[in-house]
Amino acid sequence: MQDSLANSVNPAVLVFDSGLGGLTVLREIAALRRDLKLVYAADDAVFPYGRLDDAALIGRVSAVMDDLIARYRPALVVIACNTASTLTLPVLRAKHTIPFVGTVPAIKPACARSKTKRISVLATPGTVKRDYTRELIREFAGGCEVDLVGSEWLAPLAEAYLRGEEVADGRIAREIAPAFIDRGSMTDTVVLACTHYPLLLEKLRKLAPWPVEWIDPAPAIARRVASLLPAPGSPVTEPTRAFFTSGKLPGSALAKALKSFGIEAAGEAV
Ligand code: DGL
């Protein structure tokens, strides 16, 4: 099936994640460019990506993306997922001619802002172990100490929170505690290197052992997207749609949450 998005004068931008985290990126793109026809796609059938091995993740993202691009013919794709971006971008770029904007740990700006010169990168276990992430540290950390903290549960907890489920503060506090280090110098900046984490930002601030600066790269990603597209045209009139590979339709709490991100319609399975 081919979607009518392709015929629109408003460029279509596909925002993709394993689950709901990419909404934090979609929100910034929508705020910056009201003329874009945004489509959100979540590969929730295999969420979380953080636990997949490299070969499985590359195969999965590549296959799902082939299908999404054929359906929606976007002008640009945002891989709003650090776990996927740090591994799959070269494969996707080799296969498709449209631009891909990825999300990767914001190590350079975090190190530049840190006064104590000690930052933590809070991410999924997948992102933490990537060569790509270690290369970013080698290239951009300068004299800054970078602690990599892989959290297995924070992304699923963020999903549960957005679905309106009870999430105990203690569970979140346990996941973020290793990011707070006082060893010669104290952590003063934490990179949110998983797009799910800004969904919990209020709680993260409240539960932090001491105040730190939380770096959410979403506004910078939105600016990068805008820079790759033609100058803004007239605002879109149709609502943003969301698609889920599981085929599950959102319950009432999630539908309400999606609405707060500008998503009026959740469509059929991808
Ligand atoms: N939102 C994804 C990211 O930015 C990760 C969640 C997952 O493990 O699937 O890394």
> Measured from the CA of 127, which atom of ligand 1 is nearest?
10
pTM, whole model, 2 decimals? Answer: 0.94
Establish if 99 belongs to a structural domain: yes
Residues 98 and 115 in one domain: no
Region 130-135 average pLDDT:
97
Q: Is 111 a catalytic residue?
A: no
Cβ–ligand 1 contact at 155 (below 6 Å): yes
Q: Look at 270 and 168; give whichever has higher pLDDT.
A: 168
Establish if 44 belongs to a structural domain: yes
For the cut 80, the answer to whether the pLDDT of residue 3 exceeds it is no
Our count of domains for the chain comes to 2
Establish if 147 belongs to a structural domain: yes
Average pLDDT, the chain: 94
Residues 207 and 114 in one domain: yes
Residues 23 and 95 in one domain: yes
Establish if 159 belongs to a structural domain: yes
Residues 205 and 124 in one domain: yes
Residues 40 and 77 in one domain: yes
What tens digit of pLDDT does each residue of 9-28 get? 789 999 999 999 999 999 99
Region 227-243 average pLDDT:
92
Distances 142 to 109, 138, 150, 266 between C-alpha atoms, Å: 11, 8, 22, 44
Provide the pairing of β-strand 182-183 with 185-186: antiparallel
For the cut 80, the answer to whether the pLDDT of residue 5 exceeds it is no
What tens digit of pLDDT does each residue of 33-69 get? 999 999 999 999 999 998 899 999 999 999 999 999 9
CATH number at residue 55: 3.40.50.1860
Establish if 80 belongs to a structural domain: yes
Question: Are residues 15 and 241 in contact, defined by beta-carbon separation less than 8 angstroms?
Answer: no
> Measured from the CA of 123, which atom of ligand 1 is nearest?
10
Lowest mean pLDDT among 174-183, 189-198, 252-261: 252-261
Establish if 113 belongs to a structural domain: yes
10 CA to centre of ligand 1 in angstroms: 29
Q: Residue 142's pLDDT is what?
A: 94
pLDDT level of residue 268 (50, 70, 90 thresholds):
low
- Quote the CA–CA distance of 41 and 255 in Å, as a whole number: 15
Catalytic residue among 30, 81, 225, 266: 81
Residues 8 and 46 in one domain: yes
Residues 117 and 211 in one domain: yes
Residues 34 and 135 in one domain: no
Structural domain boundaries enclosing 166: 107-216
Tell me which residue of 176, 214, 183 sits closest to 118, measured CA to CA. Answer: 183
Q: Residue 164's pLDDT is what?
A: 94
Lowest mean pLDDT among 91-105, 114-128, 256-270: 256-270
Residues 127 and 173 in one domain: yes
Residues 93 and 225 in one domain: yes
Residue nearest to atom 2 of ligand 1 (CA): 81
- Quote the CA–CA distance of 163 and 105 in Å, as a whole number: 26
Catalytic residue among 42, 65, 194, 212: 194
Establish if 270 belongs to a structural domain: no
Q: Is 81 a catalytic residue?
A: yes
Establish if 244 belongs to a structural domain: yes
> In the chain, what percentage of residues exceed pLDDT 90?
89
Residues 131 and 212 in one domain: yes
Residues 227 and 252 in one domain: yes
